[in-house]
Amino acid sequence: MSRARVQDWGRGVWALGCAAAGIVSALALGAPAAGLNAVATIPPIKGIVAPLLPEGSVMRVLLTPGRSEHNYEFTPADMASVEQADLIVFVGLWLEPRVEKFLDANPSTRRVDVSLADAAGVHADEDEKHEHGKEAEGHTHDDACEHSVDPHVWLDPVLMKEALPKVAAGVRRAMEERGLWNAAAEQRLNESLAKEAARIEEIDREFREALAPFKGAKIVTHHAAFGRMALRYGLKVAEVLRVNENEDPTPGRIAAVVQAVKQEGVRVIFVEPQFNAAMAERVAKAAGVKVGRLDPIGDGDWYAMMRGNLNALVEGLGGGKAETR
């Protein structure tokens, strides 16, 4: 066989493989006839967005529960799901640089892209956009995961309530593109928006009431995920175990944490279920404090995740369990 014919044959096989991958992805996503194909990059987004979707919708979450939001590399299959989605909701602030770069490079009049951070009114500065844009081209997020703006906006209920109307507007635009928008759809979306806003307000109220007795209390967290939550409800993160989520704490970092625990009167070190707790347990033993657990990702139920974190905070700070609904 000539070289030209071999090359033509190879191109044909590659094209067939790509087409097959697209078909498999579409089938995996569900391709609903009466609803939307929706994609969320991390599980907590599902808990906020799914209740707003029309009946018959399918929502795929790219990051599976148990993985950290900082050390997951999105796969070609993930990107195929994004490309074929009617609606993609991502955090933004360059938490998912490969996804953001893909969306920027592949605009679509059919797909609606919603940044949770933008919807909440939180934006990265231009220098960070430039640096993370280069990072997405050259190496993984874990090699340079410092953010000038904290991307963990989903852990602040007030920001989530602010984001909700714009997320709902994204759902409406996606429905309009699919020809699903009508008076009944508008009524259902408005009712769902009001219901979810009230549920988020209830979470905010529970946090304010349960954490009010601990105002000014200092905590140590696994990584810098809970700064927004702490600031919102009067707590202070005295130190974090991991500055870079992909590297074990250095002896110097461990010493800094132990010193902060003793000097700041910290009563608890919080670990995360996405990471091995052994190091935190050793640090806690050396510092003479207990270990608690805060989960920044959850399993897709944002409300359960937030209430679980509230209970962990109250128990860790010495107040039993929080009163939640």
Question: Domain holding 185: CATH number?
Answer: 3.40.50.1980
Q: Is residue 251 part of a domain?
A: yes
pLDDT single digits (tens) 244-303: 766 778 888 888 899 989 999 999 999 999 888 888 888 888 888 999 999 999 999 999
Residue 130 pLDDT > 70, yes or no?
A: no
pLDDT band at 325 (very low <50, low <70, confident <90, very high): low
Most confident of the ranges 23-37, 138-152, 238-252, 279-293: 279-293
Q: Is residue 23 part of a domain?
A: no
pLDDT single digits (tens) 45-83: 999 999 999 999 999 999 887 676 666 778 889 889 999
Question: Reduced to 3 states, what is the DSSP secondary structure of residue 308?
Answer: helix
- What distance in Å separates the CA atoms of residue 310 and residue 324, rounded to the nearest whole number? 9
Same domain, 38 and 158: yes
Q: Is residue 320 part of a domain?
A: no
- End residue of a domain, out of 150, 171, 205: 205
Same domain, 268 and 196: no
For residue 46, the enclosing domain spans 32-205
Same domain, 200 and 58: yes
Same domain, 193 and 227: no
Residue 22 pLDDT > 60, yes or no?
A: no
Query: pTM score, two decimals?
Result: 0.82
The backbone torsions φ and ψ at residue 220, rounded to the nearest 5 degrees and listed phi first, read -115, 130
Instruction: Render the burial of 166-182: b for 16+ CB within 10 Å, e for the rest.
Output: bbbebbbbbbebbebbe
Residue 106 pLDDT > 60, yes or no?
A: yes
Q: Is residue 303 part of a domain?
A: no
